A = this chain, B = another copy of it.
Amino acid sequence: MDTAPAVGGGRGGAGVEEQQEVAELPQLLLFAPPSPPFLGLLAKSFRLLKPWEEESMSTQQFLTTQAQSVRALACIGLFQIDSEILRCLPSLQLVVATSVGVDHVDLAECRRRGIAVTNAGPSFAEDCADLAVGLLLDVLRRISAADRYVRQGLWPIKGDFPLGSKLGGKRVGIIGLGNIGSEVAKRLEAFGCNISYNSRKKKPSVAFPFYSNVHDLAANSDVLILSGALTKETYHIIDRDVLLAMGEKGVIINVGRGALIDEKELVRCLVKGEIGGAGLDVYENEPDVPKELLVLDNVVLSPHKAALTPESIAASGKMAVANLEAFFAGKPLLSPVKDE
């Protein structure tokens, strides 16, 4: 031992100190198991409560007996944090979501009780924008459909695959110009697209044309890109009228939430050829995808992966920890979800 043992009443030996430190770590209630690296990160700074590990009691029993003093919970993925859960947690002050969209959290109840909610902030914005652009390129230039054609051995037999359409010069309407929408715009400008947008209000620092009305935006767009949050106001913001306003070559890309679009109407428009195509990462009843879409060549179907790469998941984990540390240190949160 190269240091003298601690003396005096203030500090115990190393073992005792560690025990005390663990006891002193702030409690963090987890919903759904995190990935091993994220779990490791959280365990360094928090005493973790894991209701799914307690086989002898229900979640409700666990919450009402073990989590009455819990001030913060972290919600992994899209685990539903509903009013029933919130009711069991009288001391709760913070819900940390690891996703961008927080429609799986009962925001109204949180607001009523003054519980703060944070999301992944910009962690996923670049990857989400990349997938939006990838889906758009795929739909316009028919990449997945052409790949199927080659894999089925049809090229030597049937000859040239039908042409797609040029991305440059397209009028692209972005609905929700937040972190993701801004990254989409930056990328599509490099392809020579003409960007305009719709959001709750005009952004003074943004030069792109603003449309206060989604229908007007659609009528002036060849492509619509959805990347915004699902709220009561944005539920089915894309209805049949908006879809038809784009015209029969119109393309819609959705990397936000399925219920931003009236999915039944979208399917009908695609099947009838009333719009040109769609690139979808999200659906109203995931993981169920409407069967009619599975056989269409003018759609590209992604299994809710827009935001997710190992890189973005790591970034969102760091953001969650940073929000938690700020909260317990009494500092401002890094990515609070603002009231509508």
Where the two chains meet, the residues of A that have a C-beta atom closer than 8 Å to any C-beta of B are: 126-127, 130-131, 133-135, 137-138, 141-144, 146-151, 153, 155-156, 159-161, 163-169, 186-187, 189-192, 286-289, 294-295, 300-303, 305, 308-313
Contacts and interface: CB of A to CB of B under 8 A. Distances in A.
B126 A130 contact: no
Given A138-B134, A166-B126, A190-B186, A143 B302 contact: yes
Contacts of A169: 311
- Oligomer: number of copies: 2
B151 A301 contact: yes
A161 B303 contact: yes
A257 B303 CA distance: 33
A168 B159 CA distance: 36
Nearest to A288: B156
A103 B21 CA distance: 72
B130 A167 contact: yes
A331 to B, nearest CB: 28
B143 A135 contact: yes
Contacts of A126: 166, 168, 191-192
A288 B142 CA distance: 20
Contacts of A289: 150, 155
30 contacts: A126-B168, A126-B192, A130-B141, A130-B166, A130-B191, A131-B137, A133-B137, A134-B134, A134-B138, A134-B143, A138-B138, A141-B309, A146-B302, A146-B303, A147-B300, A147-B301, A149-B303, A151-B295, A156-B287, A159-B287, A160-B305, A161-B305, A163-B305, A163-B309, A163-B313, A165-B310, A166-B311, A187-B187, A187-B191, A189-B190
